[in-house]
């Protein structure tokens, strides 16, 4: 059989890693907010939640996510802005 038709991997995709400071660091919440948005952008929301210890829509991170939204809108990063708006809606629903 031609190697072109042989599946070489098992479909396993490792979870992404998120570069986060120590949880007691002053910048942790901001980094966690970015990790949640980036995780969602990559299709790995659950991995980001596990890495940060925060759930999607956590009200504690709202100020940081608003800043991410504003930054993304100013830079024309439509997908990031869209995800930030979704996060903010989820936070309002809590």
- For 44, other C-beta atoms within 10 Å of its C-beta total 18
pLDDT (0 to 100) of residue 8 = 55
pLDDT (0 to 100) of residue 14 = 80
pLDDT (0 to 100) of residue 9 = 55
From residue 35, alpha-carbon distances to 1, 2, 5, 82, 87 in Å are 43, 42, 37, 15, 12
- pLDDT beneath 50: ranges in the chain: 1-3, 5
- Give the predicted TM-score (pTM) of the model: 0.85
pLDDT (0 to 100) of residue 15 = 81
């Amino acid at each position: 059989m031609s190697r072109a038709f042989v599946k070489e991997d098992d479909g396993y995709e490792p979870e992404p890693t998120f570069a986060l400071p120590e949880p007691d660091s002053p910048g942790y919440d901001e980094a966690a907010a970015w990790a949640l948005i980036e995780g969602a952008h990559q299709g790995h929301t659950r991995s980001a939640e596990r890495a940060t210890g925060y759930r999607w829509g956590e009200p504690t991170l709202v100020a940081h996510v608003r800043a991410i939204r504003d930054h993304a809108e100013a830079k024309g990063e439509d997908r990031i802005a869209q995800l930030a708006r979704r996060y903010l809606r989820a936070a309002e629903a809590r």
